[in-house]
Amino acid sequence: MILRGQIVDILNKRIYKGEITIKDGKIASIIEKEHNVNTFILPGFVDAHIHIESSMLVPSEFARLAVTHGTVATVSDPHEIANVLGVKGVEFMINNGKQTPFKFNFGAPSCVPATSFESAGAIINSDDIKSLMANPNIKYLAEMMNYPGVLFDDDEVMKKIAWAKHNNKPVDGHAPGLRSDDISKYIAAGISTDHECFTYDEALEKLQKGMKVLIREGSAAKNFEALIDLLPEHFENIMFCSDDKHPDDLIIDHINRLCARAVAKQIDVFKVLQAACINPVKHYNLDVGLLNIGDAADCIVVEDLKAFKTLQTYINGELVYDKGISKIESIPFEILNNFNCDKKEISDFKFESNSKQIRVIEALEGQLVTNEVIADSLLKNGNLVSNIEKDILKMTVVNRYQNQQPAIAFIKNFGLKEGAIASSVGHDSHNIIAVGVSDEAICKAVNLIIENKGGICAVSNSEQKIVSLPVAGIMSDKDGKTIGLQYAELDKMAKQLGSSLHAPYMTLSFMALLVIPSLKLSDKGLFNGSTFKFTPLEVN
């Protein structure tokens, strides 16, 4: 097979007309040759850090959508399913991904459970990491979220890192806001990347100290604008990632969109493409071709180097996307889950109090961090209730692995005026998380999730909608287009109920994420991540 076009040689910063001959899945030759084909041929895009589970799609269905945007590979942390199903969940992701030509590169989840302050469905200890690291299908130790464990030389944490080093595999980081001597010690432990930088100065310090920085632009956390100005000078040590990408967004774009936005800022296209195509392959030692003779023929044909609209995608020389048609097929798979709680009563969500003030989580648009605000209580028959007028709504986390009393807190900036929304996608343990205008609405939404053994839903006074997620309670058994459209409809309903957030469900899912240092709610209570302790809801 021969491809003709304008060949983009990223490392040599050169574009020339030529022909690429592909034989047995590899690039047999590349020659300069005049022709009248004006499209561009370049290496495929790589998402340098993503949780496939957050697309609500199994890997094979994720691949069907990703190739339409020129993505040929991902560096994927199966942390989410691991918190539900343990090593069995990791094996499910690897085996399902192998059924497609797409190049998934899975890591060994380093923090299952993510903290000791919440209830997950499984444990992955250092002995499990030892076995996973010896598996050639495992490419790296996934994000070390337990940075306090690194700073205080926790024995289990250091054993996990040691097994990665023993197998010569990189260690990914997760250290939002960590600076000065603390980040120096974190890096010295052998941790080489961070995708959690949310300020320019933080990212610059980490780059100067030898870390690779991943510019993240996902469905909830969006750090592109804050960090992109670092790319021109530090392009050799920067990569692009999504972290979490919801299905409706994945239908529209992927890493190609970040390239387009960077080029629109007049950043050198070769530097942009090095971050998007080259750096992840080099850093993680991926078996992904880079448009060299002898490489696997992993390449894409794009319309131009401005919008990066993908016309064709090739993986190992196989045409997997062609002008609007994904050629990756759906495959059958076994549905695994871990969901063991009974339906709740309205009374389970009451919080009796006579306190005049309460602590409130303030959700921030486009951020995983939160603020804490102190607000006046609204009491009804001795029960703390949502204050719709002031946008201070009751929130709950319900343990889905065993029957326990729901944890209660209050949150600001969701904006709901009616009903409730709920989800069993609740990072990191994936318990049920819900927010609503009344105890009745919250109970209705939570029970809808329990009845379906996983999903995301919205309930109003007159209707209810749910996207069922039977695979571990976090992924669908349907194709990407179907689930993407269903999710878009649910997102629309949440906004009709009053939510002003760009991605209300993604934001909701992170309000139990204790490894981001700010006020969050686990199934065990309100947690202050800056001091690593539980915090009373009532102020006085």
Tell me which amino acid residue 505 is: Y
pLDDT bin (cut points 50, 70, 90) of residue 205 is very high
At residue 390, the pLDDT reads 97
Strand 138-144 to 171-173 pairing: parallel
Q: Which helix (H) or strand (E) holds 310?
A: strand 310-315
Give me the helices (H) in 423-479, please. Answer: 439-451
- Convert 228-255 to b/e letters by CB count within 10 Å (16 or more is b): bebbeebbebbbbbbbbbbbbbbbebbb
pLDDT class for 367, splitting at 50, 70, 90? confident
Q: Name the phi and psi angles at 199, rounded to 5.
A: -135, 155
Q: What is the pLDDT of residue 320?
A: 98
Percentage with pLDDT > 70 across the chain: 100
Contact 70, 302 (CB under 8 A): yes
Q: 338 vs 29, 155, 308, 375, 396, CA distance in Å?
A: 50, 29, 41, 37, 20
Q: Using pLDDT thresholds of 50, 70 and 90, give the confidence band for residue 221.
A: confident
- Alpha-carbon distance of 484 to 352, in angstroms, equals 40
Amino acid at 43: P
Q: What is the pLDDT of residue 81?
A: 98
**pLDDT of amino acid 375:** 97
* pLDDT computed for residue 508 by the predictor: 95
Mean pLDDT within 246-261: 96
**Integer Cα distance of 503 and 190 in angstroms:** 34
pLDDT at 529 over 90: no
CA distance 538 to 540: 6
Angle between helix axes 480-496 and 59-66 (nearest 10 degrees) is 90
- Count the Cβ atoms, other than its own, within 10 Å of residue 279: 21
Surface-to-core class of residue 299, CB atoms within 10 Å of its CB (0-12 exposed, 13-18 middle, 19+ buried): buried
Residue 366's pLDDT is what? 82
Tokens of 295: 């490489």
For residues 276-284, average pLDDT: 98
Q: Which residue has the higher pLDDT, 15 or 517?
A: 15
**Strand runs labelled E in 156-282:** 171-173, 193-194, 212-216, 238-241
Residue 530: band (very low, low, confident or very high) from pLDDT cuts 50, 70, 90:
confident
| CA–CA distances in Å: residue 335 to residues 85, 190, 470 | 12, 37, 7
Q: How far is CA 337 from CA 77, 116, 406, 489, in A?
A: 19, 22, 21, 25
Mean pLDDT of 252-266: 98
With tokens 């080029």, the residue in question is 263
How much of the chain exceeds pLDDT 90, in percent?
95
Task: Please tell me the predicted confidence (pLDDT) of residue 296.
Answer: 98
Q: Which of 21-25, 166-170, 296-300, 510-514 has the lowest mean pLDDT?
A: 510-514
The pLDDT value recorded for residue 369 is 87
- When pLDDT is cut at 50, 70 and 90, the band that residue 402 belongs to is very high
Measured between its terminal Cα atoms, the distance across the chain in Å is 74
Model pLDDT for residues 20-69, shown as the tens digit of each residue: 999 999 999 999 999 999 999 999 999 999 999 999 999 999 999 999 99
Q: Where are the alpha helices (DSSP H) in 299-409?
A: none
pLDDT at residue 368 is higher than 90: no
Q: How far apart are alpha carbons 386 and 436 in whole angstroms?
A: 8
Structure tokens at 478: 């349907």
The mean pLDDT value for 237-242 works out to 98
Output the average pLDDT for the chain.
97
Residue range 453-464: average pLDDT? Answer: 97
Residue 278, pLDDT > 90, answer: yes
Residue 31: the pLDDT is 97
246 or 58: which carries more pLDDT confidence?
58
Residue 337 has pLDDT above 90, yes or no: yes
Reduced to 3 states (helix: H, G, I; strand: E, B; else coil), residue 455 is strand
| Residue 379 CB partners (closer than 8 Å, separation 6+) | 353, 354, 385
Q: What is the pLDDT of residues 314-323, one digit of tens each?
A: 999 999 999 9
- Helix axes of 200-208 and 180-188: crossing angle, nearest 10 degrees: 50
517: pLDDT confidence band, cut at 50, 70 and 90? Answer: confident
The confidence score (pLDDT) of residue 219 equals: 85
Range 198-224 average pLDDT: 95
**Predicted confidence band at 531 (pLDDT cuts at 50, 70, 90)?**
confident
Residue 195, pLDDT score:
97
pTM given for the model? 0.95
